[in-house]
Structure 1
Amino acid sequence: MTVSPKPASSVIVRRGEKFLLVRRANPPAQAMYAFPGGKAEEGETAEQAAIRELAEETGLIAASARRYAVYDLIDRDDDGRITSFYRLSVFLADVDGAAVAAAADDADDLGWYALEEIRVLNVPTSVLECAERLASPD
């Protein structure tokens, strides 16, 4: 049986060397820190979903976003059957540097974190990989 991925997007916003992360309020990623994001709605492009999710979860507005990475996120049960499959498109976006972010929607907290801080937070592998790649000077 072939399982098709459901589209989801997240968006990376940086201020200097710090990355904006939200703490998830609801399962399945409850209490994890991640880039703002979520499932795409019917008819939305991945970019539109990223921009919408950023606004819903933080109040920050991005006029556009650039695709940075794509991850297939697959969860399996104890028997190896796929229980969920999302294709996560990760975007980079610029926002007004003076704008203040506030946690909303399914984010119960947010903050700006340096790579060293992200390494000790409960984050998905994709978040750590993206932050490490962006923080490295090569």
Structure 2
Amino acid sequence: MTIPAAGGIIFDDDGRLLLILRTTPPSALTWSVPGGKCESGESTAAACVREVAEETGLAVEVQRLAGRVVRAAPQGGVYVIDDFVCRVVSGELAAGDDAGDAGWFSRADLTRLSLAEGLFDALREWGLLPQ
């Protein structure tokens, strides 16, 4: 079974990347970009905007598709995740929904965090590692 999902790659004015601490599977207790599964009939871009708002309190605008990753789903099947580069249009950062924490992180910070599987490699491949 293929499960469509989306994620948001968002940088602040200092070039730091927005990450959330996941509290539920998959990737529980790891840091990742905000995102999640699409609702029925929802586009991946719309899911990205909704999930970012739910998990971070930030309203974003999708700028472009960064890339696609495929990850195993805990209940079987696979998540097909479209990751989008977004920009913040409003809101105040606050962890919400299934995010245990949220923050802005530099490239050096990423080496000290427990990241979701494949996140660092995907960002590097797409030329989107933070400064």
Which residue among 47, 60, 63 is the counterpart of 2:61? 63
- TM norm structure 2: 0.86
Determine which structure has the larger strand proportion and give its number.
2
Confirm or deny: 8 A CA contact 1:17 1:135 kept in the other structure: no
Correspondence list, 1:1-138, <5 A:
4-15=1-12, 16-74=14-72, 83-96=76-89, 99-132=91-124, 133-135=127-129
Structure 1 unaligned spans of 5+ = 77-81
> Cα distance, 1:75 vs. partner?
5.5
- Identity in percent: 30
Residue type matched to 1:106 in 2? D
Over 3 Å counting, the alpha-carbon distance change for 1:70 and 1:59 in structure 2 is same
| Residue ranges of structure 2 left out of the alignment (5+ in a row) | none
User: Take 1:99 and 1:49, find their aligned partners in 2: how far apart are those partners?
Assistant: 18
After TM superposition, the score normalised by the length of structure 1 is 0.82
Q: For 1:52-94, what per-residue CA distance to the aligned partner results, in whole angstroms no more than 9, with x for missing partners?
A: 0000000100133421110111369xxxxx9230101000001
> Which structure has the larger Rg?
1
Distance 2:104 2:112 in 1: 14
Q: Partner letter of residue 57 of structure 1?
A: E
In the aligned structure 2, how far is the partner of 1:103 from the partner of 1:136? 20
- TM-superposed CA distance for 1:106, in Å, is 0.4
- Superimposed CA distance per residue, residues 102-127 of structure 1 (whole angstroms, 9 cap, x where no aligned partner): 00000010111111111221112432
Preserved CA contact (<8 Å) 1:6 1:87 = yes
Secondary structure at 1:64 match in 2: strand
